Amino acid sequence: MRSSRKALRRSDDLVAAGLVSREHRAGIEAVAARYALALTADVAGLIDPADPRDPIARQFVPDPAELEVGPEEMADPIGDGAHSPIEGIMHRYPDRVLLKPVNVCAVYCRFCFRREVVGHGRALSGEQLAAALDYIRAHDDIWEVILTGGDPLVLSARRLAPIVNALGAIEHVKIIRVHTRIPVVAPGRITPALVRSLRARGKATYVVLHANHARELTPEARAACARLIDAGIPMLSQTVLLRGLNDEAAVLAELMRALVECRIKPYYLHHGDLAPGTAHWRTGIEDGQALMRALHGRLSGLCQPAYVLDIPGGHGKSPIGPNYLTRVGGSNGAARYAVEDFNGRRHAYPPPR
């Protein structure tokens, strides 16, 4: 394993760190010219350059396959633009909005569904942020605000605290949710000051961690998560199903168990979005359903995420996990079903007398 004292942001940095061979530099440079590139020192230090299928390198080191765009892929695969009334706000569901205070990340995932926009520009201006907060104040059906981006935890505690405090002062906002990768890719940023900046009096704050492989949960990452949880901030997780990385039941099970051991409840397993240049990452939906069947009954219910698809065009997420129940007859008042257990055996419900 190798480490770097600073973030790697150029193809030459990757070559110097031994993560990319010099003969592959030009291909990496071509990808980096289109999509943002960054690996933190923590991430770089986790990579084994001798392993061509290293699960950390594959997530963050560019691949020339990213320049191959399929006809079904689109720049805005989940329809963010259709639900963005003003800069920095996405209002897709009635009771919650996304607030994007910053458009950059500490690292850039090679499968990111916002890869066409992240990494360009820094943060909302003061005027844009004020307008976004005014939008939330004006819509009293908004119960939850989700801070995303980019990664909101690239902001300092000094810059985060006013945003969280402003949301805390809005009577109808009860939940503040933060989506981030920072605890695993830059755990040292989760300082006591940053943890304090995420809490608003009278509101519930949740942090949702993006992690795709158990190796991301280093001792330092686990300690960073513990700092949040010990301060009274519950944590959930989201994972993207990635071909050749976590699409085996044993690998996915190891991750889900590791998350629960860290007191993090698995929340979503995302089917890969139709982002440009990501076909080499996507599995079939049936493959994802088979994985969920493999986890069902063999892992604690605490380890079970919801397998979801973000419908292209901005129509929201839908669960697409396997179905275990089939109607087999009976009237509305006395319907009869066949229900499948985790061993694949079918049982009548209600049971025959």
What are the pLDDT digits (tens) for 187-236? 999 999 999 999 999 999 999 999 999 999 999 999 999 999 999 999 99
87 to 38, 130, 131, 307, 308: CA distances (angstroms): 25, 11, 8, 30, 27
For residue 50, count other CB atoms closer than 10 A to its CB.
8
- What pLDDT is recorded for position 214? 98
Catalytic entry in 105, 225, 262, 303: 105
Helix and strand element counts for the chain (H, E): 11, 12
- What pLDDT is recorded for position 1? 39
Catalytic entry in 135, 262, 273, 282: 273
Q: What is the length of the chain?
A: 353
Q: Where in the chain are the domains?
A: 11-67, 81-319, 323-353
Nearest-10 Cα torsion for 236, 240, 244, 246? 20
Of 154, 158, 169, residue with least CA distance to 200: 169
- What pLDDT is recorded for position 195? 98
Question: Would the pLDDT of 159 be above 50?
Answer: yes
Of 8-22, 172-186, 290-304, 328-342, the one with minimum mean pLDDT is 328-342
Whether residue 90 contacts residue 146, with contact meaning beta carbons closer than 8 Å, is answered with no
Q: What pLDDT digit, counting tens, does each position of 321-340 carry?
A: 999 999 998 776 788 999 99
310 noted as active-site residue: yes
Catalytic entry in 109, 225, 262, 303: 109
How far is the first Cα of the chain from the last one, in angstroms, to the nearest whole number? 63
Give the span between the Cα atoms of 344 and 22, in whole angstroms: 51
Return the SS3 of 315. Answer: coil
Give the span between the Cα atoms of 143 and 133, in whole angstroms: 14
Of 26, 34, 32, 40, residue with least CA distance to 10: 32
6 noted as active-site residue: no
Q: What pLDDT digit, counting tens, does each position of 257-303 carry?
A: 999 999 999 999 999 999 999 999 999 999 999 999 999 989 999 99
262 noted as active-site residue: no
Torsion sign over Cα 306, 242, 71, 322 = negative
Catalytic entry in 58, 92, 100, 181: 92
Tokens of 3: 């480490």
105 noted as active-site residue: yes
Superfamily of domain 81-319: Aldolase class I (3.20.20.70)
pTM (predicted TM-score): 0.94
Give per-residue burial for 243-257: e unless 16+ CB within 10 Å, then b: bebbbebebbbbbbb
Return the SS3 of 191. Answer: coil
Catalytic entry in 58, 114, 115, 222: 114
93 noted as active-site residue: yes
92 noted as active-site residue: yes
Catalytic entry in 13, 54, 151, 310: 310
> pLDDT band at 4, cuts 50/70/90?
very low
39 to 106, 178, 318: CA distances (angstroms): 7, 21, 32
Catalytic entry in 108, 112, 181, 247: 112
Whether residue 146 contacts residue 98, with contact meaning beta carbons closer than 8 Å, is answered with yes
β-pair partners for 336: 329
β-pair partners for 302: none
Q: What pLDDT digit, counting tens, does each position of 93-134 carry?
A: 999 999 999 999 999 999 999 999 898 777 899 999 999 999
Catalytic entry in 25, 93, 324, 337: 93
